[in-house]
Amino acid sequence: MDILSLFIVIPVLTITAIIFLKDAHQVRLVSAFGMGLQLLMAASLVFLYLAARHAGNSDEMLFVKDYLWFKSLNIHYAVGVDGISVAMITLTSLVVFAGIFASWEVEFLRKEFFVSLILLATGVFGFFISIDLFTMFLFYELAVIPMYLLIGIWGTGPKEYSAMKLTLMLMGGSALILVGLLGIYFNSSPGGSQLTFNILEISKVVIPLPAQRIFFPLTFVGFGVLGALFPFHTWSPDGHASAPTAVSMLHAGVLMKLGGYGAFRVAIFLMPEAAHELSWIFIILTSISVIYGAFGAIAQKDLKYINAYSSVSHCGLVLFAVLMMNQTAMNGAIIQMISHGLMTALFFALIGMLYGRTHTRMINEMGGLMKVIPFLSVCYVIAGLASLGLPGLSGFVAEMTIFVGAFQHPELFYRIVTILAVSSIVITAVYILRVVAILLLGPTTNEHFEHLTDAKWFEKISAITLIGSVAAIGLAPFWLSTMIGTSLHPIIEKILALNPF
């Protein structure tokens, strides 16, 4: 068994164990154990990966394993990772681990909850380790479907509507991806040799430009739906607001990154010519996402909606940076994915904890929480500061890199959109500071809040895991950006070779 397949095997074993457990109380222990193991695996994967790179292994993908699956269609189960996927896997295992602890007190159908949650995680892990488009797509859909039950059963508010909307929109995105993948597959060998789904092999050929012009937009928009690309982002606020805490964490923290990662790894990497040609359309759309999301967040009163719109804005920035197609901006895009994943997961976890105490998510009904529940409040401030890009935390590194990269383009168009996108930082500061001021500072408005208790041990585990990671990236971003940067080289080279600009 290779190390990467273990990332699928462990969750599957955990699920199996949970199904056969008789005692509902042990369910969360087993989940925590399984996902803790996964986190350790992720940590050791990082070390193994760095060690292999130090040893001089310069392959594009490491730990590659390839098993032939459907011979006639040349479909393989193929796994492999580069620095980017390693970073994403680490992010996923952190968020899932924190998510398990954030949902420690789920009572209703506890077994089913953890099974669905871990199934969702299995899909995400599988997606990040795949280098075969077929298995990648399979895992992608596997990650989307448990969302329906997770939101529909354990959600709050108009959960049935939100769950259906989210599922159908994301599956709509995957419909476009499917057509795009088939298009890539049937153009994967212009020379007439065997067709392939393998990303590395496809990246060596040039897909004919007329085909790229059709399949690039399909693939990019398909993944863009999950990355909250305007105007396909509307599932995100409803979905996040209705989802239970851990699901919001996982969804905004990890699942939306599937969109960014896919847009980058499949759409742009495999079809750079069309990406270069058509990027202006999508740059405009993503700029709208960035600004519109930030303004949307200002207008909201529900904490989850604020954070959901803020996610639209931040994930828009990921796609924006990816489309800049140069080393610095792409590097920033990946760091932004990691940073936003951790930060937004932290936000949603804290919102869930606050909601569990105050039973409201409306900011104008709360106030003065800092005195009552200092631990949670301080965590909330840290998350907020990370979100508005304070130096020392991860958000700063990511956004700085993105804007520097975007500004490297000399054309007026790029300058204008970059300036527009930069302005989102200011707007972000407005809504973050406003929330912090109303929510945490000032007098306690509601006497019921006087008796609130601060975070319990499992909530602390969840929050500290995430804050530690956010701070680690903010204080020592270089190991991460080196890991990503070396992996970006082959991709950037491919782009530059075709479009010197």
Partner 1 sequence: MSPGTFLIMRHELLLIAAALSVLIAEIFWNPEKKKSISLFSIILFGVVTIIGFLPSPAGALFGGMYISSGARLLMKNILNIGVLLVFIQSVTWLKKEENVEKISEYFLLLISTVVGMNFMISAGHFLIFYIGIELATIPIAALAAYDRYRNKSAEAGIKLILSSALSSGILLYGLSMIYGTTGTLYFTEVTKLFGNNNLQILGFIFFFAGMAFKISIVPFHLWTADVYEGSPVNITSYLSVISKGAAVFILIIILFTVFPVIIATWQKTIFVTSILTMTIANLFAIRQQNLKRFLAFSSISQAGYILLGIIGGNQLGMASVIYYILVYIFSNLGAFGVVTAISNATGKENIDDYNGLYQTNPKLSLIMTLALFSLAGIPPVAGFFGKFFLFTAAAQKGYYLLVLIAVLNTIISLFYYLLVVKAMFIIKSENPIKKFRSDFPTRFALGICVAGIVITGFASIIFEAIRNLSFGV
Q: Is 152 in the site for partner 1 (CB under 8 A)?
A: yes
Q: Which stretch binds partner 1 (CB under 8 A): 65-73, 228-236, 409-417, 462-470?
A: 65-73
Sign of CA dihedral 173, 128, 341, 262: negative
- Residues 253 and 102 sit within 8 Å (Cβ to Cβ): no
Q: Is 182 in the site for partner 1 (CB under 8 A)?
A: yes
Q: Which residues pair with 81 in a beta bridge?
A: 62
Q: Which stretch binds partner 1 (CB under 8 A): 86-94, 169-177, 345-353, 464-472?
A: 169-177
Among 15, 32, 87, 149, binds partner 1 (CB under 8 A): 149
In this structure, the number of other CB atoms found within 10 A of the CB of residue 78 comes to: 27
How far out from the chain centre does Cα 2 lie? 25
Among 3, 179, 206, 288, binds partner 1 (CB under 8 A): 179
Q: Is 70 in the site for partner 1 (CB under 8 A)?
A: yes
Q: Is 214 in the site for partner 1 (CB under 8 A)?
A: yes
Q: Is 171 in the site for partner 1 (CB under 8 A)?
A: yes
Q: Supply 307's token pair.
A: 């954070």
Q: Is 161 in the site for partner 1 (CB under 8 A)?
A: no
Q: Is 485 in the site for partner 1 (CB under 8 A)?
A: no
Q: Is 183 in the site for partner 1 (CB under 8 A)?
A: yes
Q: Write down the least CB distance from residue 392 to partner 1, Å.
A: 42
Q: Is 244 in the site for partner 1 (CB under 8 A)?
A: no
DSSP strands (E only) in 402-486: none
| Footprint (CB under 8 A) of partner 1, residues 461-480 | none
> Is 179 or 496 the residue whose CB approaches partner 1 more closely?
179
Q: Which stretch binds partner 1 (CB under 8 A): 157-165, 232-240, 273-281, 321-329?
A: 157-165
Measure the CA–CA gap between 373 and 390, rounded to whole angstroms: 24
Q: Which stretch binds partner 1 (CB under 8 A): 98-106, 144-152, 285-293, 417-425?
A: 144-152
What is the DSSP-derived secondary structure letter of residue 76? E
Best CA proximity match to 318, nearest among 401, 252, 260, 389 = 260
- Rg from Cα positions in the chain: 22
Measure the CA–CA gap between 302 and 291, rounded to whole angstroms: 19
Q: Which stretch binds partner 1 (CB under 8 A): 139-147, 263-271, 403-411, 440-448?
A: 139-147
Measure the CA–CA gap between 222 and 227, rounded to whole angstroms: 9
- Residues 146 and 117 sit within 8 Å (Cβ to Cβ): yes
Q: Is 71 in the site for partner 1 (CB under 8 A)?
A: yes
Among 101, 113, 148, 320, binds partner 1 (CB under 8 A): 148
E strand or H helix at 33: helix 24-54
Measure the CA–CA gap between 282 and 222, rounded to whole angstroms: 12
Q: Write down the least CB distance from residue 483 to partner 1, Å.
A: 30
Measure the CA–CA gap between 338 and 402, rounded to whole angstroms: 13
Contacting residues for 55 by C-beta, under 8 A, at least 6 apart? none
Please tell me the count of residues contacting partner 1 according to CB under 8 A.
Answer: 33
> Is 274 or 322 the residue whose CB approaches partner 1 more closely?
274
Measure the CA–CA gap between 257 and 87, rounded to whole angstroms: 12
Q: Is 11 in the site for partner 1 (CB under 8 A)?
A: no
Among 60, 105, 141, 365, binds partner 1 (CB under 8 A): 141
Q: Which residues pair with 67 in a beta bridge?
A: 77
> Which residue do the tokens 């996902």 mark?
35
Binding site for partner 1 (CB under 8 A): 69-73, 75, 134, 138-139, 141-142, 145, 148-149, 152-153, 159-160, 163-164, 167-168, 171-172, 175-176, 178-179, 182-183, 185-186, 214
